[in-house]
Structure 1
């Protein structure tokens, strides 16, 4: 991934935020038939290993877990907030007319080593954790115990667990850091007005003087 220095994100906290807030990752693998990609929701454990661990499950019918055995190097791509940016949102455009459209985004590449867990206990524990997290906002959260045990037991036979020990995290946050402060603020304000608060907030956090920017400078 090409990363100009002003778009490089090195804060572990920010990289982990994207993985937690946008858990649907693109798992990129390479086998005998070439490159492939699977889109899978991951659970992230920051405490497991130097850079954390990603866990997920796939259908037993998915050849991924046989095509890429334990020990295979893989990469998972997580995409955070993203949106089109019009030059009309930059105050400087209306003075010099020297701005063009662009696209802002947050992306994290997690490189690691895959382990296959064809183990019902692993999968059951993983599913319980995933549903507990993603059902938390529901008025009456669904849990595995709501279904008949034999129904859940049958479903567990049709999925396989995978785990990725992360070896490195690479982040690119393209948030108009190469623009004037007033242009960055103008774009963020317009995004807020157009119901894109996540990207607007991310852009504001990179502005000089923001608390998050100070933290990034210390970490980087």
Structure 2
């Protein structure tokens, strides 16, 4: 990933924070049919390995898991909040007009090689942990144990799990850090007034910058 110095994030806690709050990640690798990509919810275990370990699963019918089993290098892309930045946000537009549109965003890339598994108990623990993570904010959380055991067994036979120790991780949080204080404030305030929740989230993140 191309990361200008102004946007680079190296603090592992910040990178993990975006991973924890993301939904579906994009997992990319090279397979027999060329580049392959799948969109998957992943579980991060921060203390496992130097940079943490990612866990997830494929549908058994998805051939991409075979590339992981063969040792393919994997890139996982996590996308955070993003927003179009209009030149009209910049006070500089009225001063000299030398402004153009851009896009602000937060992204984390994790690299590594994965080990696949299909043992029932490991798969059950994985899908239970993923479900618990995403159900915890609901008033009446659903649990894997709510479904009939024989049905869950059939679902587990239809998936293949993987563990991906992160060997390299990098982040780019492009939040107008390269702009003047006035233009930065103009972008932050413009996004904060947006009707779109994602744009307001990005403005809140900008407000946290030192």
TM over 0.5: yes
1:204 to 202, 207, 210: 207
- Give the distance between the partners of 1:31 and 1:60, measured in 2 at CA: 16
Residue of structure 1 in register with 2:14 after alignment: 14
Residue equivalent to 2:89: 89
Unmatched 5+ stretches in structure 2: none
Q: Are 2:170 and 1:170 equivalent residues in the alignment?
A: yes
| Alignment RMSD (CA, Å) | 1.2
- In structure 1, the residue corresponding to 2:69 is in which secondary structure? coil
Q: Whole-Å Cα distance in 2 between the matches of residues 143 and 73 of structure 1?
A: 33
The alignment status of 1:74 with 2:74, answered yes or no, reads: yes
CA distance, structure 2, for counterparts of residue 91 and residue 132 of structure 1: 46
**Counterparts of 2:128 and 2:135, CA distance in 1:** 10
Structural mapping, 1:1-220, within 5 Å: 1-69=1-69, 71-194=71-194, 195=196, 196-206=199-209, 210=210
Using the size of structure 1 for normalisation, the TM-score is 0.90
Number of residue pairs the alignment of both structures matches: 207
Q: Secondary structure at the match of 1:57?
A: strand
Mapped to 2, the partners of 1:53 and 1:68 lie a distance apart of 15
CA distance in 1, matches of 2:87, 2:58: 42
Do 1:70 and 1:114's aligned partners in 2 also have CA atoms closer than 8 Å?
no
> For 2:25 and 2:133, how far apart are their aligned partners in 1?
16
Secondary structure at the aligned position of 1:68 is classed as helix
- TM-score normalized by structure 2? 0.94
1:216 matched residue in structure 2: none
Q: What do residues 160-210 of structure 1 show as CA deviations (whole Å, max 9, x unaligned)? A: 10110100111111111110111111111111111322111222233xxx3
Distance in 2 of aligned mates of 1:116 and 1:70: 10
Aligned mates of 1:192, 1:90 — CA distance in 2: 14
Does the CA-based 8 Å contact 2:31-2:64 persist in structure 1? no
